[in-house]
Amino acid sequence: MTWHVKVHDSAQSVDASSWSRLLGDEGNRCPFLRRDFFVALEESGAASSETGWQPAHLILEKDGDARALLPLYAKSHSYGEYVFDHAWARAFEQAGGRYYPKLLSAIPFTPVPGQRLITPHQDQLGDMFGVLAQWLDQQQFSSFHLLFARGEANETKPPFMLRKDLQFHWHNRNYKDFDDFLAALNSRKRKQIRKERAKVQDSGLRIEFLCGDDIKPEHWDGFCQAHDATVDRKWGQAYLNRDTFALLQERMGSCLRLSAAFDGDKMVAGAWSMCGSDSLFGRQWGCIKRLDGLHFELCYYQTIEHAISHNLSHVEAGVQGEHKIARGFEPVATHSIHYVQHLGLADAVANFLRHETGMVDRAINEYQEMTPFRKEDG
């Protein structure tokens, strides 16, 4: 039996039925992995060669049958990834190497754990990584990075290296409503959250949580204005553009959520998210009117309320943010997989990862002790 690797220069060029078949129910759990999401990013120019994201999606075939899909990009930089390798790039280039372009398997601009080597044949992951390693050996790239893996992390063997990090996720413990969730917290944190929510409620702003077809073009206009203003203040350039949201609304509208604050008819702040079969995935936010607690209300409390009312088991709110702990989010380990061609750089990265893993493990334990939930007596 013979394996073959096919490269596609766009998500659009991958057969839609093959993508859907390989993805299976994972596409309901994590809508970001659907072909429509990648096509929207690429067609809108958010993930394109012009922005340093050259599509090179792989189909792994066995005897002519598509067995796996690997979303893949040739990257000329390391922005929009949320797993940081800038120090690796600097060290390698200072030593005379060329780090870029590199190969990246990820959902662009989306730090959501899920399948990256997308296949219903989970029992063949080991063989597939062997095929991938052989293919990588033949490529003219410094390295390969597979970000926010799930089951693939269990198959990581040399020459691949496993990297550990953490995020903060909220878990629904069968809460009846938001007050039931608050009752699980210690008194001080419960009062803090109520105070934050009251300040927003008393501000005169109108808060709405919009779902699917209730999100109109003018809502995306308002969100993009608020998001772009926030990005301009903090980071310099938004990854997603207005066309991206138009395409997402057209093709994946039922999955989209938007929590928004209005001053009269004008949206002054918003946070968008994607809803899967059992989780709500918070993404970007923006504001043109600052108010203490407004970020927490739109990004956390509104999404938690939605998750409880719709029996969703998790809320994932992206990377970083120790402030999430006080609002009921808990530390969760995440994993990425790395392959480096240059033996000297590979050894240096392996040593770094051993040290970093110990730091992450200690941080998870420390953060777990900081969670605001009431301690059971006895």
- What digits encode the pLDDT tens for the residues 179-189? 999 999 999 99
**Cβ contacts of residue 120 below 8 Å, gap of 6+?**
21, 22, 24
The pLDDT of residue 236 is 65
Return the domain boundaries, the chain. 3-166+332-370, 173-312
Looking at domain 3-166+332-370, which CATH architecture does it have? 3-Layer(aba) Sandwich (3.40)
| pTM confidence score | 0.96
Q: Are 162 and 339 in contact (CB under 8 A)?
A: no
Supply the CATH classification number for the domain 173-312: 3.40.630.30
The pLDDT of residue 26 is 95
Note the Cα 223 to chain centre separation in Å.
19
Q: Are strands 102-105 and 143-149 parallel, antiparallel or unpaired?
A: parallel
Blockwise average pLDDT, block size 10, the chain, 378 residues: 94 98 97 98 97 98 95 97 96 96 98 96 94 96 97 91 97 98 97 97 97 98 95 77 98 98 97 98 94 96 98 94 95 97 97 98 97 76
**pLDDT, tens digit (0-9, with 9 covering 90-100), for 10-63:** 999 999 999 999 999 999 999 999 999 999 999 999 999 999 999 999 999 999
Please report the DSSP string for 290-357 in residue order.
Answer: --TTHHHIIIIIHHHHHHHHTT-SEEE--S--GGGGGGT-EEEEEEEEEEESSHHHHHHHHHHHHHHH
Judge if 3-166+332-370 and 173-312 fold alike in CATH terms.
Answer: yes
The CA–CA distances, whole Å, from 89 to 53, 152, 341 equal 17, 24, 13
Closest CA to 306 of 289, 282, 328, 327: 282
376, exposed or middle or buried, with CB in 10 Å at 0-12, 13-18, 19+? Answer: exposed
Residues 301 and 249: their CA atoms lie apart, in Å, by 24
The pLDDT of residue 378 is 36
The CA–CA distances, whole Å, from 9 to 39, 42, 58, 74, 244 equal 11, 10, 9, 10, 19
